[in-house]
């Protein structure tokens, strides 16, 4: 067999566990404790000129305190084209493949952990000065008991020196069950610009980012026209000696006007963004005692202000990542 058509076995394993305790006083989000573990093993064949991979695997999520396999394991089955600059994922694959640093207005902590996979396609470009990606995720196929739901989302970042700019975007199609009437269109976009002084200052991480969060939402059955909430979104991060602070400020409208009717079925982001008091403040104080290629541990104390009252969240996450590439480098 020629060198151009050589082949080898590739494999990858992720183990994640997350403790998320929410002691909330807010009318916009509920108190609860979410504690679970997730295992994502996959194995496949790498062939051709070094870019093509075909993989199969599974995602098993165990919610502590629930019945074993209460959440059914999901099969992973996908093709991955992995060149130095361009990547293509097609099939069902892990959400960890996404590179965009989306605000929690787009995807909250629970979605990132428990909605572990993407069913569809992901296209990415990675360069020295940034990245761009677009993904199509088919969340739910329509049936007599299931709504039809799918999302198109995208992110891009371009850097020039210490200055950077980019955007986040999502379009969520939220339809009825078979025989039902009505669709909700839920479009969010956030252009942003910032400065990153990681290599220019005393701190390991030091950045300031300002963006505008804008939504276009149409409940076709109950409203019949678009509402357009929006507001300014400011985020600052400072980190030194494995300790850090992420401070997020949002000033604007209630970004989730239909939450009362559809809840988190329609909105994938943090429900604090539905505050009606004109502002939301999130202060995360974190510690990362373990940061290696194969392991990561982060402990956070997160404080939410909805414009009226403060709420408190304790968050801890631990990740182990093993792969054939990791062991090959250590030989």
Query: Tell me, what CATH number does 305's domain have?
Result: 2.40.160
Comparing 37-46, 95-104, 141-150, 163-172, the range with the smallest average pLDDT is: 141-150
* Containing structural domain, residue 254: 3-329
Instruction: Give whole-number Cα distances, 183 to 24, 169, 170, 266, in Å.
Output: 32, 20, 16, 11
* Per-residue model confidence as pLDDT tens digits over 162-214: 999 999 999 998 887 766 677 899 999 999 999 999 877 889 999 999 999 99
Predicted confidence at residue 149, as pLDDT, reads 87
Average pLDDT estimate for 96-111: 96
pLDDT at 178: 67
Q: Please give the share of the chain, as a percent, with pLDDT higher than 70.
A: 95
Structurally, the chain folds into a number of domains equal to 1
Q: What is the mean pLDDT of the chain?
A: 93
Between residues 326 and 249, the one the model is more confident about = 249
User: How large is the average pLDDT for residues 224-231?
Assistant: 94
**What pLDDT does 104 receive?**
97
pLDDT at 143: 63
* pTM higher than the cut 0.75: yes
Distance CA 46, CA 103 (A): 34
The predicted model gives 274-303 an average pLDDT of 97
Position 1 scores a pLDDT of 42
Neighbour count for residue 326 (Cβ, 10 Å): 13
Q: Which residues contact 2 (CB under 8 A, 6 or more apart)?
A: none
């Amino acid at each position: 067999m020629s060198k151009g058509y050589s082949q080898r076995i590739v494999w990858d394993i992720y183990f994640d566990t997350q403790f998320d305790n929410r002691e909330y006083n807010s009318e916009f989000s509920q108190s609860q404790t979410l504690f679970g573990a997730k295992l994502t093993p996959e194995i496949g064949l790498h062939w051709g000129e070094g870019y093509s991979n075909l993989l199969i695997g599974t995602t098993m999520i165990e919610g502590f305190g629930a019945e074993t396999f209460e959440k059914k394991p999901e099969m992973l089955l996908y093709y991955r084209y992995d060149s130095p600059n361009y990547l293509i994922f097609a099939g069902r694959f892990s959400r960890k493949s996404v590179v965009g640093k989306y605000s929690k207005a787009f995807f909250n902590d629970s979605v990132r952990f428990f909605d572990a996979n993407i069913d569809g396609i992901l296209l990415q470009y990675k360069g020295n000065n940034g990245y761009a990606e677009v993904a199509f995720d088919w969340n739910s196929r329509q049936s007599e008991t299931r709504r039809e739901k799918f999302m198109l989302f995208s992110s891009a970042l371009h850097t020039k020196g210490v200055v950077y700019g980019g955007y986040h975007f999502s379009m969520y199609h939220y339809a009825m069950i078979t025989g039902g009437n009505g669709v909700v269109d839920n479009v969010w976009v956030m252009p942003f610009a910032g400065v990153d002084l990681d290599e220019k200052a005393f701190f390991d991480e030091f950045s300031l980012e300002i963006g505008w969060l804008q939504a276009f939402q149409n409940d076709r059955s109950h409203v019949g026209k678009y509402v357009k909430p929006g507001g300014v979104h400011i985020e600052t991060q400072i980190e030194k000696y494995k300790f850090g602070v992420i401070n997020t400020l949002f000033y604007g409208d209630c970004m989730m006007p239909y939450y009362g009717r559809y809840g988190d079925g329609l909105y994938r982001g943090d429900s604090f963004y539905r505050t009606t008091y004109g502002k939301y403040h999130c202060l995360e104080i974190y510690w990362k005692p373990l940061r290696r290629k194969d392991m990561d541990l982060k402990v956070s104390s997160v404080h939410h202000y909805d414009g009226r009252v403060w709420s408190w969240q304790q968050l801890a996450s631990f990740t182990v990542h093993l792969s054939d590439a990791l062991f090959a480098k250590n030989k």
